Structure 1
């Protein structure tokens, strides 16, 4: 058996249908990284049943479907077909070629097809049991898989030995048997629980069935006895009914004869009676007429009385209506007066509202004009403040001029005093200096005070600033006058000095000019002060007036609201008065209409009384005439009655006889009715008691000879026995049959389950014994082979395989120890990467020596090997390639050179893999002097 070909369509990068034919021996699969080589390995694993998305290098299973490229659309399905040659019959199918196909759709649906037939994944897996082929077997070895085998836990390495020993199928069957055994034990427990319940029901129903059968027997006896008793009673009732029927017929004949004679007498009396009846009819008619006339007279009298009473009542009503009319007229007059007063009040309120509204408008106008005036005052105040600031600037200029003038005076005085005598000049100089210094100090203080006040003054303090400025200018003028007086004291100091001070160009003249300007500024400042004060007072007065007007307006509005409310109340009162007036007017009209109606009724009453009195007189005359006719009719009736008296006596005698016969007939009929009712009740009682018809047994009524007393005594006895049974389950026999059948069935099921359990235990033990034997033998063979292959690959050294638990080999872990040349024996997890890869190759080929897989795919397991190890690897691979088919995915040229066939995978179109096949007819064999390995 070997892998013949793989057909791929839409799987991963194989967008187009790709057929890969394999030959026996070694086939090398080459190609650059990313071209899709490993996708072929994934395809083989996938078709063999791989379910792990991670092992398929995908996120979801439908990711294996070609997802499209820039130039190709994505496909909706993917399928892979594995064709295996089976001429040797390794697979348990009698076919030389086996095709296994797996297909997946975008919707997630999976299909497994074996030789064209849809199968389950389980059947695919069972087909490859113990062949070394499968998603978890050693027929597919990848570099990562080797590392996984070597680095995994010892318990997880055991599957290689199980697969090589050929016990995978046995273990699967053993697991299946154990699962069946567990299910069987669970089913047995369930059946035993059910059986216990059914057994209890079986015993209870068995006792109930025996009781029910006794009950049914007694019920049958009761039925028979009661039926016979009821049949005797029925027969007796029929005999009595026949006798009474005969008696009724005889009485009927006698009754018929008497009835005929009575009819003859009645016919005779009928003619007489017709005459009497006619007379009596006339008499009765007269009596009726007389009685009717009496009733009519009484009725007329009642009507007259009623009419008179109605007349009196109408007169009383008329009086009442008259009084009510007067009262209504008075009320109407009072309402009119109230309405007039209310209307006057309403007019007054309306006038008042108009006055208030006019006052409000006037106040609003005054407030508006005052606010306009206040706005104008604010504007004037701002203008005055501006003029004040201007005057301040002018004052500052005058101050500068004054300082200059003062300095000139000092210099002139010093110059003048320089020519005077020393003592006088010293005194004068001291006084002038003292005076000027004092003046300067005072001026400096005044300037500082004025500056501080000016800085502190705001727009709201204009009046205070003006007052301070005026005081300052008064003090300044006084100081200047004092300086002038001081200078006058020294007028005689010299003509040149006086000329200089008094000429138009002199200092005094300039001082006077300053005085004039200061005086003018003072006047302007005073004028501005007065204007600002006047404006402030006017503004304050206007503000007070506005406040007063606003208060007045608020009072007017309150008065307006109050007056409006009062006016509304008056309007409501007027409306109410109008409604009351309208109601009273309607009431007065109704009273007047009723007065007219009552007067009309009184008039009609008088006319009706007159007519009724006339009718009463007519009725009295008719009564007198009828009484005379009635006397004649009574006499004739008396004569005819005497003639009929004799015949009536005979008729009475016959009637008495007929009545007696009628009573006897009725008595017999009633007795017959009682008998029929008793018979009916008898039949109904029997039907209700036994749900059967007594008439069905009518043919045996005459055959019952046993006395009724004996039957009653036996019936009472049987009923006592039935009562002693107590409560009975009438369905017990049927239920017992069902439970008995179920009991037998469950017993059989329990027996079958026990037998099945025993068989499963025996099968499990046999499988285990056989599996242990095969596993131990395979373990020992692989252990021996692993040592040989290891030494060949490493050129010496030592390797061991050990079971962690030799007592339970099927559950034991497998430890691998290796000792490359020149190193100590240690666990393979401590080896280098290349050594670990070589150990994995040694373990793989050691397994192949025990049980070679028909084909094996090696995916870059030589990647970590150096050149020397590659040579050894190729040598062993070539040797095993003579017995098994190998597909090697490699990048190593030497490994490829050792293959009999080469397959290339390229990706000329981005994202799409293509296959190139090359057959090597002749190739050089790597020289190898070592002897071939032989398996134990």
Structure 2
């Protein structure tokens, strides 16, 4: 794997899109690119761009205060940019990166709003994805992949713990360390989750046990309810069918009665119609009334004639009695008037006498009769004593004729009366026949009405019974719906048993003894049981996961220790070798600073807290590497404390250490930003020779002012900055130029 191309746009002073291309390293081909330029031209921004695209988060190393500071801020002649973007093109034909692409493009982009993006081959990813890929590809941020200004001394002046971080990367265990850190984070999260799950489990377990007991009661209740419901289905089905059958029987009984009632009503209607017709024919009674009236008139006329006849006869008898045939002193007219008056008084007396007989009161009429008799006697005596000087009173000759006439009229009236009497008798006979027919029809009508009444009463009685059955069935339907929920739930009623009702009562009583259970209990039990089983399963899974993670961590610890120890030994040897080359002698070595864990689960104080994202668990009494010490003794000196070395000596020592790391575990490419700035000319030559030896192992991008270093480069980029504040590149392929000048 090697770096093919670097694209920069909007990053710091590189406002315009700038592309740097690099050559591939090979067996007989070096890949050294030197970037030169005056101070302030922006050449170190190229190293910052590489560091930034590789995921660097330290604003201090990026020489900024906030993330937006990496975006071109503008100049009087150039407006500021809205975003910064850097893309790193890596050739992955050898498969160094565990990704199925021949070319890997890492891109990082940031906007002035603060939003940022990471992309691998144009697909958005997380920072952790980028860091893991780089670690698996043997890249690093903290050691030799990118060495910036001032970082040469920092490697030596760092604390043992910080120095160990460099060596984790340098020994190639960083990818395992990252996996270990991830496993530790998962372990910590898993243990926290386990603690919470166990706490919740302890809280819910008593409730689940209580609910389980209730559910047993509920199961018992459900069994009784099922038996009750089954029995109720048969019992209610029997009652339902019994009532339904009874209603059908009553309907069957009503049908012929209703037909008979209808026929009776028709017959009664017909009889009533006939009676109405007969009543309308009653004008024949007018004939009877006329005959009766005529008869009464004739009878009255007959009586009148009889009275008249009687009067005439009385007069004649009176005249004959008093001898009215001789002359009288009184005038005849006066005599007649007197006689007439006496007769009227006599008739009045007779009427009183008749009434007195009816009421039984005759005593009061004796005096009146006696007085009337004396008046008659006196009148008749007076008539006898009357002198003969008066004209003779004679019987009216018309009286006998009148009697004859009256007798004739009476005879005629008698004939008429007889005729009318015959008509009346005939009419009465006809009327009697019709009356009898009318009364017979009335009698028949009354019988039929009575029969209709009885029939209606019977129908009403049946209908009342049927209504009662309907009401009972409606009540039964409500009861069935209340007990069974729906009529469709009725079962077969075959084999009815008389004790079903008692059994139902006993089952209900049994349910009462079991007691009511909150309807929410089953729901709560289900939820709690699910929660209980989930927590139980989760605890089992978490314990299994924790065991697996601890096993993975143990395996990773073994790999890390083995690889670290092996690589550390080689780097230590190479460090001594390159130290002697650069110093022309002397001695240098690396030593591991080991400590023993005093308290279990206790985090290291101070800087140890920054070892990993997750706090490592170290058992009490366990030995662990707490840091790395660097010992360097230049030739002719007895110094061990590197803090006592001069600046040049520290630079050479750092270069020796860097060379040892590269020789043991070369990164795909290394960026060195003015690491040779503190070297004098002779030391620069030594550095160039060592550097030239390492070019076969990795690809170098050098930012330098040193001529000896420039001479080892195959490509030279010059960086300038014009008045608009924008950095620009000039490139020169030195190998091609040399071939052009000195052709073979």
**Pair 1:674 & 2:464 matched:** yes
Residue 802 in 1 paired to residue 591 in 2? yes
Rounded to whole Å, the distance in 1 between the matches of 2:670 and 2:688 is: 15
Q: How does 1:71-470 map to 2 (within 5 A)?
A: 71-93=77-99, 97-129=103-135, 131-188=137-194, 193=200, 196=205, 201=211, 204-205=214-215, 207-240=217-250, 242-243=252-253, 246=256, 257=267, 260-261=270-271, 264-269=274-279
How much does 1:765 deviate? 0.8
Deviation string for 1:888-923 (max 9, x for gaps)? 222233433454543321224541222233344499
Q: How many Å separate the matches in 1 of 2:533 and 2:589?
A: 61
Q: Per the alignment, in what secondary structure is the counterpart of residue 101 of structure 1? A: strand
Match status 1:770 vs 2:584: no
Matched, 1:685 2:475: yes
Alpha-carbon contact 1:45-1:135 (below 8 Å) kept = yes
CA drift at 1:142: 1.6
- For residue 804 of structure 1, give the secondary structure of its aligned residue in structure 2: strand
**Partner SS for 1:852:** coil
Q: Partners of 1:261 and 1:655 in 2: how far apart?
A: 6
1:66 and 2:62 correspond: no
1:793 to 582, 586, 592: 582
Taking a change above 3 Å as real, the CA distance of residues 274 and 888 of structure 1, as seen in their structure-2 partners, is farther
Aligned to 1:16: 16
Is 1:879 matched with 2:693? yes
**Maintained 8 Å contact 2:143/2:170:** no
Please give the alpha-carbon distance, in whole angstroms, between the structure 2 residues aligned to 1:121 and 1:128: 11
1:777-830 per-residue CA deviation (whole Å, 9 max, x = no partner) reads 333333333334334434444444333325567651223344445555443334
How many residue pairs get aligned? The number is 554
- The secondary structure found in structure 2 opposite 1:128 is helix
Distance in 1, matches of 2:448 and 2:468, equals: 30
Please state how far the C-alpha of 1:734 moved relative to its aligned partner: 9.7
* Structure 2 residue matching 1:148: 3-state secondary structure: helix
The correspondence for 1:888, drawn from 702, 720, 742, is 702
Mapped pair 1:856 → 2:688: no
Separation in 2 of the partners of 1:254 and 1:96? Answer: 112
Mean Cα deviation higher: 24-33 or 752-761: 752-761
Q: Partner of 2:12: helix, strand, or coil?
A: coil
Question: Cα distance, 1:263 vs. partner?
Answer: 5.0
Take 2:284 and 2:113, find their aligned partners in 1: how far apart are those partners?
Answer: 115
SS in 2 for 1:19: strand
Shift of 1:141: 0.8
- The one-character-per-residue Cα deviations of 1:93-139 (angstroms, maximum 9, x if unpaired) are 46554433334444544444434544443333222215552333421
In structure 2, how many angstroms separate the alpha carbons of the residues matched to 1:169 and 1:220? 70
- Distance in 2, matches of 1:694 and 1:114, equals 66
Aligned Cα root-mean-square deviation (Å): 4.4
Contact 2:97 2:136 in 1 (8 A): no
Q: Which residue of 2 aligns with 1:827?
A: 641
Q: 1:238 to 1:173 in 2, by over 3 A?
A: same
The 2-side partners of 1:265 and 1:239 are apart by 39
Contact 2:257 2:459 survives alignment (8 Å): no
Deviation digits for residues 616-637 of structure 1 (CA, Å, limit 9, x no counterpart): xxxxxxxxxxxxxxxxxxxxxx
Tell me by how many angstroms 1:140 deviates: 0.9
Q: Do the aligned partners of 2:250 and 2:466 also contact (CA within 8 Å) in 1?
A: no
SS of structure 1 residue aligned to 2:41: coil
TM-score normalised by length of structure 2: 0.63
SS in 1 for 2:629: strand
Q: Distance in 2 between matches of 1:902 and 1:54?
A: 28
CA shift, 1:217, in A, is: 2.1
CA distance in 1, matches of 2:148, 2:524: 69
Aligned equivalent of 1:337: none
| CA deviation profile, 1:849-883 (whole Å, cap 9, x unmatched) | 32122322211122223344334333322322343
Question: 2:707 matched to 1:917?
Answer: no
Contact 1:803 1:814 in 2 (8 A): yes
Structure-2 separation of matches of 1:760 and 1:7: 41
Mapping for residues 743-762 of structure 1, pairs under 5 Å: 751-762=540-551
Residues 2, 85 of structure 1: 8 Å contact kept: yes
SS of residue in 1 equivalent to 2:86: strand
TM-score by length of 1: 0.52
Structure 1 residues 780, 732: CA separation in 2 closer, same or farther (over 3 Å shift)?
same
Return the offset for 1:72.
Answer: 3.6
Shift of 1:272: 6.5
| Consecutive unaligned residues in structure 2, runs of 5 or more | 24-29, 287-430, 597-621, 739-744
1:143/1:54 CA distance change after superposition, 3 Å: closer
Could you tell me whether the CA contact under 8 Å between 1:208 and 1:729 is conserved in 2?
no
The Cα shift of 1:744 comes to 7.0
CA distances 1:437-484 after superposition (whole Å, capped 9, x unpaired): xxxxxxxxxxxxxxxxxxxxxxxxxxxxxxxxxxxxxxxxxxxxxxxx
Distance 1:262 1:25, change over 3 A: closer
- The DSSP-based 3-state class of the residue aligned with 1:835 is helix
Matched, 1:39 2:39: no
Mean alpha-carbon deviation: is it higher for 45-54 or for 163-172? Answer: 45-54
Give the superposition deviation at 1:79: 3.0
| Distance in 2 (alpha carbons) for counterparts of 1:87 and 1:73 | 41
- Map residues 602-621 of structure 1 onto 2, 5 A cutoff: none
**Distance change in 2, residues 1:840/1:226 (3 Å):** same
Assess if the C-alpha contact under 8 Å between 1:860 and 1:891 holds in 2: yes
8 Å contact kept, 1:132–1:139: no
Q: Report the structure, 1 or 2, having the larger helix content.
A: 1
Partners of 1:698 and 1:838 lie apart in 2 by: 101
Q: Contact 2:233 / 2:490 at 8 angstroms: preserved in 1? A: no
Specify the SS of the correspondent of 1:221. helix
Distance in 2 (CA, whole Å) between partners of 1:136 and 1:693 is: 77
**Residues 98, 650 of structure 1: alpha-carbon distance in 2 compared, 3 angstrom cutoff:** closer
* CA–CA distance in structure 2, aligned partners of residues 13 and 238 of structure 1: 105
CA distance in 2, matches of 1:883, 1:699: 91
Q: What CA distance in whole angstroms lies between the structure 2 residues aligned with 1:923 and 1:268?
A: 154
CA distance in 1, matches of 2:490, 2:735: 115
